[in-house]
Amino acid sequence: MVTRKEVAELAGVSEATVSRVFNGLGPMKEETKQRVLEAAKTLNYHPNAIAQSFARRRSGNLGVVLPYVPKVHLFSTYYFSEVLSGIGAKVKEMGYDLLLMFRSQDEESDYNDVFRSQKVDACIILGAADTPRERQQLKKLEEGGHPFCLVNQHFTGERFNEVDADHTAGSYSAVKHLLEKGYSRVAFLNGSSQFSNSGDRRQGYIQAMREAGMEPENLAHLYYEGNYSRTSGYRAAAAVYERRREIDAVFAANDRMAIGLMQGLRELGWEAGRDVAVIGCDNSDAARVTDPPLTSVAVPFYEMGSLAAQRLLEQVNGEPGGFQLKLDTELIIRQSCRKA
Amino acid sequence: MVTRKEVAELAGVSEATVSRVFNGLGPMKEETKQRVLEAAKTLNYHPNAIAQSFARRRSGNLGVVLPYVPKVHLFSTYYFSEVLSGIGAKVKEMGYDLLLMFRSQDEESDYNDVFRSQKVDACIILGAADTPRERQQLKKLEEGGHPFCLVNQHFTGERFNEVDADHTAGSYSAVKHLLEKGYSRVAFLNGSSQFSNSGDRRQGYIQAMREAGMEPENLAHLYYEGNYSRTSGYRAAAAVYERRREIDAVFAANDRMAIGLMQGLRELGWEAGRDVAVIGCDNSDAARVTDPPLTSVAVPFYEMGSLAAQRLLEQVNGEPGGFQLKLDTELIIRQSCRKA
DNA sequence: GTGAAAGCGCTAACAA
DNA sequence: TTGTTAGCGCTTTCAC
C-alpha cells in the first residue's frame, strides 16, 4: 500500500501538505500542488478511505435499513427496487457509499444499533410501520441525535424527516375516475393498516365516495383488507365475488393485490375490464403485462428515494432544518377499468 | 462516544483486556470478563467499527458491483433483485456488511477503483459481460490480488471465482419439452451475445434441436436476437409472425422478452398457448401473472447470490482454493406452452 | 504557504 | 492471565 508518507517524501514536502492537496484545503502554491499530484501519480497513491473515516469520524456511508419480511425476497417488490435505485444514484452523485442493512426478526435490535458501529453517517428507513414499538424506536433514534429519514411512511404528530407520496390524492383520483366512468359501487381492497399510506388511501377513497353521495358508514360492505401480497388479493376475490351484485368496480391499494384479485375473479368467471373494473396502485412493471393491462396510480418511488438521500445528506453536511415532503401521484389509465 | 478506555477504567483493567473480552481472544478469567462486560453495559459501550477496520486493515464490508445500465431502474429486474437478496442474507449471517457500488458509464474507471479506497474486502460483480475490455479489467483485478466473484457469468479460459447456473441444461430441457409435446418448429429468441449465458442457452437449444434431427446450419431462420428487454421481445413478435408458417413455438432467453413477445403476437392475432407455444427463462414473478401464465426455466438466483457471498467470504478468511460453481435449473410448466 | 505533532479508537506483539 | 506499547494512515491545530 502506498501511503501519504511516501508521496510526501517523493514530492519533498510534509505529509500535511499532501493531505491539503488531496482535500483541496488552505492556500498552497500551485507548483507545490503539482509536485504532490505528480508524486502521487507515479506512486499510484490513493487515500485510504477507512483511515480518512477514522480520522474524520465520519464513515462517508449512507445506510439503508430494510425491514424484516419473512419468506419474501425483498427486492422483488417494485417499491423497494425503485426506491433503492433512486437512493443509489443520488448517493453516488454526492460522493457517498451505500450500506445496506437488513433488519432481523430479533425483537431486541433497535435502530440505534444501526449507528452504534459508526459505519453510517445517516440512514434511510424503508418499510417502517406505524406501531407503538416502531414509534418508540424512532423517537429514541431522534433523541440519540442520529439523522434519519423515512420513505413512503408518515408519522402523524412527529417531525421526523419524511419523503412520502400523496396517496390520498392518488386514491381519490382513481376512485373519482371510476365514478366518472359510471361505476358507482366501488369496493376498496386495502393493505395492512399499520402503514400510514393504507390510511391515506382509505381517506382518498372515502372522500371520493362521499362526494358521490355515499356516506362512509354505508361503505362497510365495500371494504376489504389484504396485506399487499398477491395471494391476499387472490383470496379477496372470493369475498368480492360473493357480493358481486353490490359491486361493479374494485380499487386495490397496490398492484400485486389487484393482480391477484383479477386472477381470482377470472377463475370465478368474472373478467376485469368486462364484468368489473379494477384499479391498482404503484404502476409497477407488472401492471403493463397483465391481461387486461392494469390501470394504476403511479407513485414516483425512484424520485422519492433520490430526494430522501439528497435532503438527508445535505442535512448531515450542515444544511439546517428537517423536511416532510409529499410527492404527487398520477393515474395511469389502461384497460382494466374500461367500461364494459 | 464511549471508548474502550472508559470501560477499562470502570472495570479496573487495561484497555487490552477490554479488547480481548470483546474479541473473545486469549484465555481470561471468567470474573474479569464479567466485570468488563458489566462495565461496558453500564456505560453502553460499543466498539467503533471504523476504528476496528482501521486497526485490522479490513473493512468488514463485501462490495456488490452493479453494472451501468442506462435508463433502467436496475433493481426492478428479477435477476438483480434475487441475487442481491441472497447475498444480503448470507453477508449478514457472516457478520459482514454490504456495500453497494454502482458502476458509472465512465470508461476510465476500472474494477481496481473499487478496492483502492479499501472500503471492501472483496466484491461480487453482477452483470459482467464477456467483452475484451471487461476481461482485461478482471485480469487486472486478479493480478492486484483482489478477491472477487462473478455471478451468472462464465469466462471460458479463466479461473475466476464464479457462481453460474446451468443455462445450457435449462434451455435444453425447455426445448426438449416443446419437442416432446409435438412442436417441431421451435424458434429461439436469444439475448445479447456478450453474456455467456446467452451462448449457453443457444447451445442447449441447438443440442435439443439436433437430437430432433434439425441440423444447426438449418436453424438460421429460427434464430432471433433481442437484448433481454420486454421491448425487444415485443419487437421480435413482428419478425416471428412474418415466419408464422415456419414456426410453432418460441423459446425466449428470459421472461421479459417472452412477455413482450406474447404481447406483440397477441396484437397480431397470435395467442400464446393457442396458436403458438412460448417458454421463457428466469421464472420471475411476472411469469405467474401473465395471460396465459408463462412456462419458464427457473434459475436459483437467490441461492447463487448466497453461495457466491459465502464462498467468497470464506476465501477472504483464508479458505484455500477458488471456485467455479454451476447450479441446476428447473423447468416450470404453465399454460403458455400447452398444446393447442 | 508549509511543517511539526497530537491525536482518532483499536489491534496485536511482546512482556510480565 | 493480564498489562504495556507500538503502530494503523489520516486530519487538524498550531506554530513558523
3-state SS, chain A, equals CCCHHHHHHHHCCCHHHHHHHHHCCCCCCHHHHHHHHHHHHHHCCCCCHHHHHHHHCCCCEEEEEECCCCCCCHHHCHHHHHHHHHHHHHHHHCCCEEEEEECCCCCCCCCHHHHHCCCCCEEEEECCCCCHHHHHHHHHHHHCCCCEEEECCCCCCCCCEEEEECHHHHHHHHHHHHHHCCCCCEEEEECCCCCHHHHHHHHHHHHHHHHCCCCHHHCHHHEEECCCCHHHHHHHHHHHHHCHHHCCEEEECCHHHHHHHHHHHHHCCCCECCCEEEEEEECCHHHHHCCCCCEEEECCHHHHHHHHHHHHHHHHCCCCCCCEEEECCEEECCHHHCCC
My answer on whether A87 and A140 are in the same domain is yes
> Confidence band (pLDDT; 50, 70, 90) for A21?
very high
What is the rounded CA–CA span in Å between residue A236 and residue B80?
31
B190: buried, middle or exposed (CB in 10 Å: 19+, 13-18, 0-12)?
buried
Mean pLDDT across A245-259: 96
Interchain pair A286, B285: CB under 8 A: yes
My answer on whether A12 and A117 are in the same domain is no
My answer on whether B171 and B289 are in the same domain is yes
Taking the CA of residue B211 and the nearest CA in chain A, the distance in Å comes to 35
Interchain pair A289, B285: CB under 8 A: no
Interchain pair A78, B78: CB under 8 A: no
Whole-number pLDDT of residue B73: 57
Q: Give the pLDDT confidence of B307-327 residue by residue, as tens digits.
A: 999 999 999 998 889 999 999
B101: buried, middle or exposed (CB in 10 Å: 19+, 13-18, 0-12)?
buried
The chain-wide mean pLDDT, for chain A, equals: 93
Q: Give the pLDDT confidence of A258-289 residue by residue, as tens digits.
A: 999 999 999 999 999 999 999 999 999 889 88
Q: Among A14, A33, A55, which residue terminates a domain?
A: A55
**Percent of chain B clearing pLDDT 70 (strictly above):** 97
Q: Give the pLDDT confidence of A296-337 residue by residue, as tens digits.
A: 999 999 999 999 999 999 999 988 999 999 999 999 999 999
C-alpha grid cell, residue A56: 474524520
C-alpha grid cell, residue A334: 389502461
Q: Which domain holds residue A110?
A: 61-165+302-329
CATH of the domain at A21: 1.10.260.40
pLDDT beyond 70 at B100: yes
Whole-number pLDDT of residue B86: 94
Q: Which of A48, A50, A285 to probe the B interface (max B CBs under 10 A)? A: A50
Mean pLDDT across B143-164: 96
What b/e sequence results for A62-94 when a residue is b if at least 16 CB atoms lie within 10 Å of its CB, and e otherwise?
Answer: bbbbbeeeeeebbbbbbbbbbbbbbbbbbbbee
pLDDT beyond 70 at A86: yes
Q: Give the pLDDT confidence of B131-149 residue by residue, as tens digits.
A: 999 999 999 999 989 999 9
Q: Which of residues 104-163 of A touch strand D (CB under 7 A)?
A: none
My answer on whether B290 and B312 are in the same domain is no
A56 CB closer than 7 A to any strand C atom: no
Check: CB of residue A324 under 8 Å from CB of residue A102: no
- Give the one of A66, A289, A291 whose C-beta lies nearest to B286's C-beta: A289
My answer on whether A136 and A241 are in the same domain is no
My answer on whether B279 and B307 are in the same domain is no
* Residue in A273, A297, A263, A270 with CA at minimum distance from that of residue A283: A297
What is the rounded CA–CA span in Å between residue A289 and residue A296?
12
CA–chain centroid gap for A11, Å, is 48
B311 CB closer than 7 A to any strand D atom: no
Q: Give the pLDDT confidence of A145-178 residue by residue, as tens digits.
A: 899 999 999 999 999 999 999 999 999 999 999 9
C-alpha grid cell, residue B113: 477503483
> Confidence band (pLDDT; 50, 70, 90) for B113?
confident
> Closest-CA residue in chain A for B301?
A73
CATH of the domain at B131: 3.40.50.2300
B227: buried, middle or exposed (CB in 10 Å: 19+, 13-18, 0-12)?
middle
Residues 6+ apart with CB under 8 A from A220: none
What is the rounded CA–CA span in Å between residue A144 and residue A160?
13
Whole-number pLDDT of residue A340: 59
Instruction: Give chain B's domain count.
Output: 3
| Residue whose CA is minimally distant from D1 C1' | B28
What is the rounded CA–CA span in Å between residue A245 and residue A247?
6
SS (H, E, C) chain B: CCCHHHHHHHHCCCHHHHHHHHHCCCCCCHHHHHHHHHHHHHHCCCCCHHHHHHHHCCCCEEEEEECCCCCCCHHHCHHHHHHHHHHHHHHHHCCCEEEEEECCCCCCCCHHHHHHCCCCCEEEEECCCCCHHHHHHHHHHHHCCCCEEEECCCCCCCCCCEEEECHHHHHHHHHHHHHHCCCCCEEEEECCCCCHHHHHHHHHHHHHHHHCCCCHHHCHHHEEECCCCHHHHHHHHHHHHHCHHHCCEEEECCHHHHHHHHHHHHHCCCCECCCEEEEEEECCHHHHHCCCCCEEEECCHHHHHHHHHHHHHHHHCCCCCCCEEEECCEEECCHHHCCC
Whole-number pLDDT of residue A77: 76
Whole-number pLDDT of residue B108: 66
Name the least confident of A130-134, A154-158, A329-333, B107-111.
Answer: B107-111
Whole-number pLDDT of residue B76: 54
> Closest-CA residue in chain A for B77?
A76
Whole-number pLDDT of residue B335: 96
My answer on whether B73 and B134 are in the same domain is yes
What is the rounded CA–CA span in Å between residue A314 and residue A95?
12
Q: Could you tell me whether strands A295-298 and A330-332 are parallel, antiparallel, or unpaired per DSSP bridges?
A: antiparallel
Q: Give the pLDDT confidence of B182-235 residue by residue, as tens digits.
A: 999 999 999 999 999 999 999 999 999 999 999 989 999 999 999 999 999 999
Taking the CA of residue A93 and the nearest CA in chain B, the distance in Å comes to 10
- Is the peptide bond between B320 and the residue preceding it cis, with omega within 30 degrees of 0? no
User: Which CA distances in Å does A171 have to A168, A202, A219, B89?
Assistant: 5, 8, 16, 35
Whole-number pLDDT of residue B27: 84
Please give the torsion angle defined by the CA atoms of residues B74, B80, B85 and B90, in that order, rounded to the nearest 10 degrees.
-120
What is the rounded CA–CA span in Å between residue A226 and residue A205?
16
My answer on whether B67 and B188 are in the same domain is no
Q: Which of residues 22-51 of B touch strand C (CB under 7 A)?
A: 22-23, 25, 47-48, 51
pLDDT beyond 70 at A70: no
> Closest-CA residue in chain B for A255?
B289
My answer on whether B293 and B171 are in the same domain is yes
Give the CA-to-C1' distance from A186 to D1 in angstroms. Answer: 75
Q: Among A55, A72, A98, which residue terminates a domain?
A: A55
My answer on whether A178 and A274 are in the same domain is yes
> Confidence band (pLDDT; 50, 70, 90) for B28?
confident
My answer on whether A121 and A223 are in the same domain is no
My answer on whether B205 and B324 are in the same domain is no
Residues 6+ apart with CB under 8 A from A186: A175, A178, A179, A205, A208, A209, A222, A247, A248, A249, A250, A251
